[in-house]
Amino acid sequence: MVKMKAVNLQSSKEFVLHKFGEDALRKVIDALQEEDKVIIDRPRIVVTEWIPLDTWIHFFEGIVRELNHGDESIMLDAGRHNAEKELNSIYRVFLKAANPESIVKYCPIFLKLYFNSDENNIEMSTTKVAENKYVFLIKNFETRHRLLELGVQGWLQRAFELSRAKNLNVELTKSLGQRNRCFEYTVSWG
């Protein structure tokens, strides 16, 4: 089972509160299954604990369904919000010295900080394909969901923006939803 750090859940709840308000957050939580509610509906989440990735996905399925009329693109905004929040608080020391190359270097480490599996085999590799252009390959997620891919894409976009990357393009080039065993992004800047 894939797990994620609860800091993502906390940031995601804050995203919903900021964008939609407290009543909307309550509506989404109330529509969840009990096992997800128990994890999500706490006044204070311990951000260092591991939670099932499926719980986070169910939460965002509810947001897409209940608040965004089925439009999954909200995940890009949520990923951007989470990067902004986490890189300007927990990892702010890293961000002060960050440039696009350092984001490339540390993304595999961030992935291990945010996600874990029982087999502990989730990996990210980066390959330079041209000047200021990299391919990010993420492997071994048994949880295959487009919302996860869009959230990571939004996170990458904001992380590179915070590193002062100009003329940025982050494209999902391979999707788990296409029966691949990995998902892949091409990131370039000018």
CA dist 126 → 10, 98, 123 (Å): 28, 17, 10
Q: What is the pLDDT of residues 101-159, one digit of tens each?
A: 999 999 998 888 888 887 767 889 999 999 999 999 998 876 668 899 999 999 999 99
CA dist 138 → 66, 96, 113, 133, 163 (Å): 30, 26, 14, 17, 21
Q: What is the pLDDT of residue 64?
A: 96
Q: What is the pLDDT of residue 82?
A: 93
pLDDT of 89 > 80? The answer is yes
| Domain spanning 98-188: CATH 3.40.50.720 | no
pLDDT of 181 > 80? The answer is no
Q: What is the pLDDT of residue 130?
A: 97
Beta bridge partners of 3: 52, 116
pLDDT of 187 > 80? The answer is yes
Taking the domains of the chain in order of start, what are their residue ranges? 2-75, 98-188
How far, in Å, CA of 60 to CA of 74, rounded? 9
Beta bridge partners of 65: none
Cα dihedral sign, 76-101-169-117: negative
Q: What is the pLDDT of residue 143?
A: 62
Tokens of 29: 């939580």
Q: How confident is the model at residue 162 (pLDDT cuts 50, 70, 90)?
A: very high
Q: What is the pLDDT of residue 121?
A: 79
Q: What is the pLDDT of residues 11-66, one digit of tens each?
A: 999 999 999 999 999 999 999 999 999 999 998 889 899 999 999 999 999 999 99
Q: What is the pLDDT of residue 96?
A: 75
Q: Which residue has the higher pLDDT, 150 or 96?
A: 150
Taking the whole predicted model, whether its pTM rises above 0.85 is answered as yes
Task: Return the HEC string of the chain.
Answer: CEEEEHHHHHHHHHHHHHHHCHHHHHHHHHCCCHHHHHHHCCCCCCCCCEEEHHHHHHHHHHHHHHHCCCCCCHHHHHHHHHHHHHHCCCCHHHHHCCCHHHHHHHHHHHHHHHEEECCCCCEEEEEEEECCEEEEEEECCCCCCHHHHHHHHHHHHHHHHHCCCCCCEEEEEECHHHCCCEEEEEEECC
